[in-house]
A and B are shown apart, each in its own frame.
Chain A
Amino acid sequence: MRRRLPPSLLIGGALVALVVVVALLSLVWTPADPYNVVVPDRFQGTSLRHLLGTDQFGRDELSRIMAAARNTLEVGIVTIVIAFVIGVPVGALAAYYRGPLEEVAMRGADVLLAFPAILLAMLFAAVFRPSTLTAMAAIGIAFVPVFARVVRGAGLQVMEMDYVTAARTFGSRGWWILIRHLLPNVSSVLIVQATIAFAVAILAEAALSYLGLGTPPPAASWGRMLSESQNYLYQAPLLALWPGIAIALSVLGFNLLGDGLRDLLDPKLVERLPAPG
């Protein structure tokens, strides 16, 4: 008998798929050029020509929201890759070798965990000047301890398993056990963690772009669109609505997908992440 899929998985999956499709579609088609400035057309309301109206430069709001979806996914993917590439090996090695290596790695993770992503990003922005790169690097590094800790936690359990003992008695080498036995068995917890971290990355990037410390203009980003809309709350209050809805739906999508995957895969050791403002 087939298991019923959790509803959160279906709704979350659908929302994430929507964001991905919109982002991919924006590569080949948007209703209008998202960067085309038509000053006489500024602050138009919703119409058939401009479904979500136009912004302060007469650019089509819907097209810009679509283009910004791509930016959001790029930032999310890069941050997760950074966190993965550093965090997973550190956690796996800590679980495998134990001892002083584990102690140092985990204490280091605890300290890094005290730096929220946005604080780290502001520190980087002050030293290197703000850019998409500093934002992605900071968010990614802030996630490293989370991934290291879940991999270590799940890895410690895996190392106790009989099949690992069996592999050892067969004379398997350390790296083979790591790749063949440890990583596949922590993959479900990693998938869930990555999905939830993606949602947090979207929120953090939006907040940084809102502050002007993330994606620079003229590239479209939801956070920056919101900060620009703040200057025109009298003329065009709806401009403060659309990018926020886009952020909320994406974050909701990734959160629901993470919840659904957790129900489906049932890993026990996913870490809570503090949500950025």
Chain B
Amino acid sequence: MALLVTSRLAALVASLFAASILVFAVVNLLPGDVATSLLGVNATPENIAILRHQLGLDQPVWLRYLDWIGGLLHGDFGTSLLSRTPVAPLILSKATVSAPLALLSAAIALAVAIPAGVVAGVRYRSLSGALISALSLGGIAIPGFWAGLLLATVFAVQLRLLPAGGFIDWSEDPVAAFRSLVLPATALGLVQGAVLTRYVRSAVIDVQREDFIRTARAKGLTRWQALRRHGFRNAAIPVITVLGIQLTSLLVGAIVIENVFFLPGLGRLLFQSVLNRDLIVVEDLVMLLTTVVLVVNFATDISYRLLDPRIRSSR
């Protein structure tokens, strides 16, 4: 097991390195000089040269890469081209919006998907099972941002129960801050929950066909008893793999939904930096989000091996 974790860890580091090269290459090697685009077409060559020097653009590419990656590793994310403020504290403050949003959405998604998927899986031949299946299929087809727009129309514009957008900081009014997260998290959680329901359902259906469930039933256990004692632990393995993949789409969903509800989180920051061509912030954020994806994949890989002794022993 220790050997396995070490080798996966080495693969993770190699992937992070490759991803950082890719991000850096797209931002730095492709046409379009940051200094020229910042100063506009009327800039004098002297001004461009000064800015290029300030930004370190006159240095060789490999040195700039080492500078960037070394900074990231030390928590120095560079300085925003636009606001001229350090990026790291900016990202940290925005994460206080995005992280709770993502966690709340994930909680809602699981709260929907596990019961719905189990019922649909156990009763997959009956009407209730088919109904849940159809609903989840419909839910998958709905873009998260549209779900957010619809929820905002009903609960914010028509019923005036919750805010349609904006955010009051946690330190000012934690209740109001939470209230502004409810609609976006629900929109994201329901759509993600629909996707997850399908996987929970098929995992539960598959596990019911296993020999050990038949044996348990033959011993005299009811269907639910057999599933509780032997089924769900086994059904969890494929679901956890999917959970890792889904976390990626939750992350992307959060980027989009923050812009629907004007939440000042990482997604909004990324979007505004893209529009302003604040390439340093974009570069840092893309690298940060990719790191989250890779680390989650790593954790998923390890955890499902821990859950299933068969995979663990066979490496």
Residues of A at the B interface (CB closer than 8 Å) are 107-108, 110-112, 114-119, 122-130, 199, 203, 206-207, 210-213, 223, 226, 229-230, 233-234, 237, 240-241, 244, 247-249, 251-252, 255-256, 272, 274-277
| Residues of B close to A275: CB separation below 8 A | 140, 191, 195, 249
Q: Is the CB of B142 within 8 A of A114?
A: no
Q: Is the CB of A114 within 8 A of B297?
A: yes
| Residues of B close to A233: CB separation below 8 A | 152-153, 157, 164
Within 8 A of A (CB), among B218-270: 242, 245-246, 248-249, 251-257, 259-260, 270
| Residues of A close to B259: CB separation below 8 A | 210-211
Residue from the list B30, B140, B157 in contact with A255, Cβ < 8 A = B140
1/0 contact string of B12-56 vs chain A (CB within 8 Å): 001100110011001100101000000000000000000000000
Q: Is the CB of B150 within 8 A of A277?
A: no
Q: Is the CB of B157 within 8 A of A114?
A: no
Known A111-B22, A119-B286, A123-B27: A277·B141 in contact at CB below 8 Å: no
Interface centre among A116, A118, A127 (most CB of B within 10 A): A127
Known A108-B18, A115-B19, A207-B143: A277·B257 in contact at CB below 8 Å: yes
Interface membership of B271, Cβ < 8 A:
yes
Distance in Å: Cβ of A217 to nearest Cβ of chain B = 15
Q: Is the CB of A247 within 8 A of B143?
A: yes
Interface membership of B277, Cβ < 8 A:
yes
| Residues of B close to A206: CB separation below 8 A | 143, 145-146
| Residues of A close to B286: CB separation below 8 A | 115, 119, 122-123
Report the 5 A-B pairs with minimum CB-CB distance, sorted nearest first. Answer: A277-B253, A277-B144, A274-B249, A252-B141, A251-B141
Contact sample, A vs B, 16 pairs, CB 8 Å cutoff: A115-B293, A116-B248, A119-B289, A122-B270, A123-B26, A123-B27, A124-B26, A128-B32, A129-B277, A211-B259, A223-B143, A234-B157, A237-B153, A247-B146, A252-B138, A276-B252
Cα A85 to Cα B252 with chains together (Å): 26
Nearest CB to that of B195 among chain A residues? A275
Distance in Å: Cβ of B273 to nearest Cβ of chain A = 7
Nearest CB to that of A204 among chain B residues? B252
Known A111-B19, A207-B143, A275-B140: A128·B252 in contact at CB below 8 Å: no
Cα A183 to Cα B26 with chains together (Å): 32
A118-B252, A251-B141, A274-B246 known; 13 new pairs, CB 8 Å cut-off, are A111-B15, A122-B274, A199-B141, A203-B143, A226-B145, A230-B260, A233-B153, A233-B157, A247-B143, A248-B143, A249-B141, A272-B245, A277-B253
Distance in Å: Cβ of B217 to nearest Cβ of chain A = 28
Interface membership of B110, Cβ < 8 A:
no
Give the dominant DSSP class at B's interface: helix
Within 8 A of A (CB), among B130-175: 137-138, 140-146, 149-150, 152-153, 157-158, 164
Distance in Å: Cβ of B87 to nearest Cβ of chain A = 14
Q: Is the CB of B245 within 8 A of A126?
A: no
Known A114-B19, A115-B290, A277-B249: A126·B144 in contact at CB below 8 Å: no
Interface membership of B188, Cβ < 8 A:
yes
Q: Is the CB of B195 within 8 A of A126?
A: no
Q: Is the CB of B153 within 8 A of A126?
A: no
Q: Is the CB of A256 within 8 A of B137?
A: yes
| Residues of B close to A249: CB separation below 8 A | 141
Q: Is the CB of A122 within 8 A of B282?
A: yes
Known A122-B270, A207-B145: A252·B157 in contact at CB below 8 Å: no
Q: Is the CB of B145 within 8 A of A210?
A: yes
Nearest CB to that of B192 among chain A residues? A275
Nearest CB to that of B297 among chain A residues? A114
Residue from the list A114, A115, A277 in contact with B143, Cβ < 8 A = A277
Q: Is the CB of A226 within 8 A of B253?
A: no
